[in-house]
Structure 1
Amino acid sequence: MNERSAKHAQFVIERIYGAKPDRVFAAWANAAWKAQWFQKAEEFDFRVGGREFSRGGPPGGPIYTFDANYQEIVEGRRIVYSYSLDQGSTRISVSVVTVELQAVESGTRLVYTEQGVFLDGHDKPEQREHGTNLMLDKLGEILLSKESIHKRVIDAPRDVVFSAWTTPELLARWWGPTGFTNTFQEFDLRPGGHWKFIMHGPNGVDYPNECVFVEINSPERIVLNHIATVHQFYITADFEDVDGKTSVTFAQRFETVEELASIEKMIKKANEENLDRLSEVVSSLAGRT
């Protein structure tokens, strides 16, 4: 057993990211986006007094529990939160973190300051600083990405989930964000085939769409090219069997980082709603409620 101790420490990490402060801020404030570079949250309430809670760890290794509360949020400029970290049932540290964002010529200067107490030798400030550096490196990679990536595990067999993407009657039931309906005009399911449809928004506005199927590999992958004069992108959907369930990875890749950045806040929410609707349709097919 480790000797009882409480070591207090502070470390400061600085990064320059080639993205504007509002985009860097959104990578902390949006649950789906943050899950691309941080442990996916089971609870995410980004407001002063709100909580972020997650559990995870390396395969076969210990489970770490991250439990944070937001103390101050200044849009686009500063985030302050306190958090505890447990290894299994053992509390290993308690910290206060300040994330500061400043616009610079090349993008954003981020200053991450953590002040913590590390308990009973279970973790060391040097190890925490190293892990945080890796985390902020990952954030930098995400900020430079042209892709918006979403993952979801659906409690249904892979062939059932795949059929919800390839059967027009089923696809029309869930495609698009909450409140949208669809009218399909053409659905030619083959490489080079066209998918033409109109998305009817809850505001009464119609949105014509056209895609070309690039790859269809049943039941593992579908690749689409969304053809448009604005916001042209590729969609790749990968389906992986996970003990009878299906892990869906939905990737939306744009031509430039700037184009993704211009609509990223909107599509993060929309794509998560899209996967919510897919899950509902698949659950009905699989006889689940």
Structure 2
Amino acid sequence: MNVKTEGTKLIIERTYSVSQERLFEAFTTSSELEAWWGPKGWKTTNKRFDFEPGGHWHYCMKCEDQNQGDFYGMESWGLAKFKEIHAPERFLYEDMFSDEDGNVNPELPGMDIEVAFVQVEGGTQLITTTFFDSVESLEKLSEMGMVEGTASQMDRLEEYLK
């Protein structure tokens, strides 16, 4: 996994040995997302998933790993709004922290995320570009473990695709 920042952008790249269409499907099918989304030891449940421009994805990640100490039993809710979909090359969505009713948490920064699927020799390169409103917002979420969580999540995706 390659990680870099460019101003207010966080770019994460990883290559998977599956087709572009297969990787796109793993990201855009509700039941598949629930199978691998989130860090290791966390289970995701989709309360709503309307994969279409203007559609919403409302989900909960819950820590089910007792070895994660204070995180055990913790819930983290998210709300996304799909902005653009260009299957199977890429999609763009706005991602926000929320509560279980879908109310956005104004204390945590929202972000736009572009997920691109680029065919390469032997598979597909996944490129996620997260756009923050400021360097401070990027740093805040980085300090909260966003990169480590994404790395764990990408490992889960790899396992799931096998």
**Which digits, 9 at most, give the CA deviation of each residue in 1:167-207, with x for residues without a partner?**
11111111111111111111111000011111112410112
Task: Work out the percentage of aligned pairs sharing the same amino acid.
Answer: 28
Partner Cα distance (1:212, 1:205) in 2? 24
Change (3 A) 1:32 1:152: closer
SS at structure 2 position matched to 1:231: coil
Partner Cα distance (1:263, 1:201) in 2? 19
Larger radius of gyration: 1
Q: Within the alignment, does 1:277 sit opposite 2:151 as a pair?
A: no
Greater RCO, CA 8 A, separation 6+: 2
Q: Which residue of 1 aligns with 2:59?
A: 197
Q: Within the alignment, does 1:257 sit opposite 2:135 as a pair?
A: yes
Alignment of 1:171-186 (within 5 A): 171-186=33-48
Q: Which residue of 2 aligns with 1:238?
A: 116
Aligned length, in residue pairs: 145
Partner Cα distance (1:32, 1:154) in 2? 13
Q: Which residue of 1 aligns with 2:93?
A: 224
Alignment of 1:106-121 (within 5 A): none
Alignment of 1:7-156 (within 5 A): 32-33=2-3, 36=4, 142=5, 145-156=7-18
Counterpart code for 1:271: T
SS at structure 2 position matched to 1:238: strand
**Structure 1 runs (4+) greater than 4 angstroms displaced:** none
Q: Within the alignment, does 1:213 sit opposite 2:91 as a pair?
A: no
SS at structure 2 position matched to 1:259: helix
Unaligned runs of 5+ in 1: 1-30, 37-141, 284-289
SS at structure 1 position matched to 2:33: helix
**Which digits, 9 at most, give the CA deviation of each residue in 1:220-278, with x for residues without a partner?**
00111013421211111100111240000012221110111123141111111121111
Counterpart code for 2:86: N
**Could you tell me whether the CA contact under 8 Å between 1:174 and 1:274 is conserved in 2?**
yes
Unaligned runs of 5+ in 2: 65-71, 97-103
SS at structure 1 position matched to 2:7: coil
**Could you tell me whether the CA contact under 8 Å between 1:32 and 1:268 is conserved in 2?**
no
**Could you tell me whether the CA contact under 8 Å between 2:59 and 2:78 is conserved in 1?**
yes
Counterpart code for 1:194: H
Partner Cα distance (2:41, 2:133) in 1? 28
Partner Cα distance (1:182, 1:231) in 2? 21
Counterpart code for 1:166: T
**Could you tell me whether the CA contact under 8 Å between 2:17 and 2:123 is conserved in 1?**
yes
Q: Which residue of 2 aligns with 1:3?
A: none
**Could you tell me whether the CA contact under 8 Å between 2:114 and 2:128 is conserved in 1?**
yes
CA drift at 1:219: 0.5
**Could you tell me whether the CA contact under 8 Å between 2:115 and 2:129 is conserved in 1?**
yes
**Could you tell me whether the CA contact under 8 Å between 1:175 and 1:274 is conserved in 2?**
yes
**Could you tell me whether the CA contact under 8 Å between 2:58 and 2:78 is conserved in 1?**
yes
TM-score (norm 2): 0.83
